[in-house]
Amino acid sequence: MKRLFNEKALLVQIGIKRKVMYKRAKIFGYTHPLVVECSQELDVLINRYQEKVS
């Protein structure tokens, strides 16, 4: 049960981070440091999720 909660929480975080990244990219462009930083944070979240479900 706890594992399922953690997976769902990660999915929520991934969704939020993805939306933030897209908004920043629209404003600043894809290569802006704020967008790149957000993308890297998103990568970490996705990697955590993949570790949990595999």
The pLDDT tens digits of the residues spanning 27-40 come to 999 999 999 999 99
CB 24 within 8 A of CB 32: yes
Domain count, the chain: 1
Residue type at 38? C
Domain assignment present for residue 3? The answer is no
In the chain, which residues have pLDDT < 50? Answer: none
Predicted structure pTM score: 0.90
What pLDDT is recorded for position 30?
96
Domain assignment present for residue 49? The answer is yes
Residue type at 40? Q
Question: Which structural domain, as residue segments, surrounds residue 33?
Answer: 12-53
**Residue 38: other Cβ atoms inside 10 A:** 19
10 is written with which tokens? 């990660």
Distance CA 28, CA 8 (A): 30
What pLDDT is recorded for position 4?
75
What pLDDT is recorded for position 1?
65
Positive or negative: CA dihedral 26, 24, 19, 30: positive
